[in-house]
Structure 1
Amino acid sequence: MSIRALIAEDEPILAAVLAASLQRLWPELEIAGTAPNGVAAVEQALALRPDILFFDIKMPGQSGLEAAEELAERWDDGTPFPHVVFVTAYDEYAVQAFEQAAADYVLKPVSDARLLRTVERLRTLCASRAADGGLAGLVGQLQALLPAQSITPRTQERLTTIRAAVGNLVRMIPVDEVVFFQALDKYVNVATADSEALIRLPLKELLPQLDPACFQQVSRSTVVNLRCVAHAGRDTAGKVVLGLRNRPEKLRVSPVYAHQFRQM
């Protein structure tokens, strides 16, 4: 059976070198495509359904970690999830975390000796893949890596008030009244029990300013106030969803964060 791989790398020369090395070390492997960034990688992976993903960690627009997380959210559970190999040149903490996880990493510049070990591991994984093993493995990897790739520790001064636009007015919203934050294109929606407003602060910059004992990220685009969560359950697709005490929405939880609600 043919094994297909997708390479996501923003440096065309490095992508070509990796592809050539893989074809030399693993002639049977088909390079199904290459993507110049994380956003394109997600779309190509969904379209091509490769068996293996080589994701550069640091890419413009969307990192390899963020792309893998989004792909895990959007992947059809009925089909095997690709084995993911992250490529890194700068973050030894991520490398250390990955050594304890289920997948592999390749350190730039890529050596044939190290890549050959990756190829041997991938051959074994592809030969013995369980139907859901790939997705479960990726979730474990991301859970190990996400704390390591956080840009700003959540120890800086906490926000107490959110300044948000409501029409032509600026509304001062106490953070304690926020039920959830949700990223919407260039804005973040601030939802309280009885209203909504927009702010321009990106979610990744907002999160470190929130109290982690109260606010928890549940997906790539959503942060919820845990005090406003009434219950956690599963939908018909088996995904974890949160019911809120004072909002009608059901918030879907990414597989990466679902372990935090198992005891609810």
Structure 2
Amino acid sequence: MSQLRVLTVDDEPLALRRLQLALENVPDVAHVGAARGKAEALQLIEKYQPDVILLDVRMRDGSGFDIVEKLIGGDPPAVIFVSAFDNHAARAFEVRAIDYILKPVSYDRLRSALDRARSEIENRSSEERIAELKEVIRTLREEVRSEPVQRFEAEFWVRRNVTGLLRVPVESIEWISADDDYVCLHTSTGNHLLRDTIRGILSRLDPAQFIRIHRSSVVRIDAIEAVKRNGVSSREVHLTNGTRLKVGRVYNKLLKQALT
């Protein structure tokens, strides 16, 4: 096999872009297309007949398992799951039918997975791969049924310039402020704009780690050094980096509950 034809599937545009950039540096690989959901993925699979699919586990219109089920027949492509969540990984390796890459995807890990996929395609029959795909679906669906629906981001990718992207780990964010149609992610190494709202960004963050203290600001709970009165009825949050932020009246009770 001279080139691996790879299709990427993820409902996050930036995740697709990162995979595309990584694939450009892997020799003997052709990125034939990108899909943002189950329906589009099935159309592109039929159109391009890829050798390998880099597949997110969960998407807005279904799951990666729904797509894998449709591959049972003929000469199925090799499937590599790509996810920010490691709770499926043990089962994925246990059945040894596929590979499983955790986000953020490193170049070396991606290349290793693609090398393994190439080996499986060249050395294993279609019948063997179909049987293993069936086992993958059965075991991994059991994991999905038992876990919470809600998921939270581990990282954000922001535009650094016209063509570049920068990864901002959630664990590096100290606080977040509203900035028109954007939010500003404040970290110890700099500030980064992301197109979203305060309400939208909160839905993507673990409430055990972040709390809203004002209509225009969210803070990491671990970054709070003190909460002090500022006048008769108002309060300020003092962060460990020296930043002082006003607490909105409607958020006083929530803040107290989070810190006690």
Which TM-score band applies after superposition, normalised by the shorter structure? 0.5 to 0.7
The CA distance in 1 between the partners of 2:119 and 2:13, in whole Å, is 29
Shift of 1:29: 1.3
SS in 1 for 2:53: strand
Give me the whole-angstrom Cα distance separating, in 2, the residues matched to 1:67 and 1:123.
20
Equivalent position of 1:23 in the other structure: 24
Pairing 1:208-247 to 2, within 5 Å after superposition: none
Query: Structure 2: 5+ residue runs without aligned partners?
Result: 149-260
Match of 1:104 among 87, 90, 99: 99
Alignment size in residue pairs: 146
Residue identity matched to 2:33:
G
Q: Which has the higher contact order (CA 8 A, sep 6+)?
A: 1
Match in the other structure for 2:79? 84
Q: Aligned pair 1:57/2:51, yes or no?
A: no
Counterpart residue identity of residue 97, structure 1: R
Deviation (angstroms), 1:46: 2.0
Tell me the TM-score normalised to structure 2 length. 0.52
Residue 126 of structure 1: SS of its match in structure 2? helix
State the match for 1:128 in structure 2. Answer: 123
Task: Give, in whole Å, the separation in 1 of the partners of 2:132 and 2:6.
Answer: 17
- Give CA deviations for 1:28-65 in whole Å, capped at 9, x if unaligned: 11111110111211121122211111111121011111
Q: 1:89 and 1:46 mapped to 2: Cα distance?
A: 27
Does structure 2 conserve the Cα–Cα contact (< 8 Å) formed by 1:89 and 1:108? yes
Where 2:31 maps in the other structure, the secondary structure is strand
Shift of 1:151: 5.5
CA contact (8 A) 1:55 1:87 kept: yes
What are the equivalent positions in structure 2 for 1:196-207 lying under 5 Å apart?
Answer: none
Q: Is the 8 A contact 2:4 2:118 kept in 1?
A: no
Question: 2:25 is matched by which residue type in structure 1?
Answer: R
Contact 1:81 1:133 in 2 (8 A): no
The superposition leaves residues 66-123 of structure 1 with CA deviations (integer Å, 9 ceiling, x where unpaired) of: 2222343xxxx3x311111111112x32111101021101101101222122122112
Aligned to 1:239: none
Q: Distance in 2 between matches of 1:19 and 1:152?
A: 30
Please name the residue that 1:68 is paired with. 68
Distance in 1, Cα, partners of 2:128 & 2:19: 25
Q: Which amino acid aligns with 1:93?
A: N
Aligned with 1:149: secondary structure? helix
Seen in structure 2, the aligned counterparts of structure 1 residues 152 and 124 have a Cα distance that, compared at 3 Å, is closer
Letter in 2 for 1:24: N
Change (3 A) 1:152 1:3: closer
1:11 alignment counterpart: 12
Q: Which residue of 1 aligns with 2:216?
A: none
Letter of the aligned partner of 2:14 in structure 1? I
Q: Deviations over 1:212-249 (max 9, x none)?
A: xxxxxxxxxxxxxxxxxxxxxxxxxxxxxxxxxxxxxx
After superposing on structure 2, the runs of 4+ consecutive aligned residues of structure 1 that deviate more than 4 Å are none
Picking from 124, 136, 140, the partner of 2:135 is 140
Identical residues among aligned pairs (%): 29
Match of 1:149 among 129, 134, 144: 144
C-alpha distance in 1, partners of 2:70/2:126?
Answer: 20
Unpaired runs of 5+ in structure 1? Answer: 154-264
Matched residue, 1:157: none
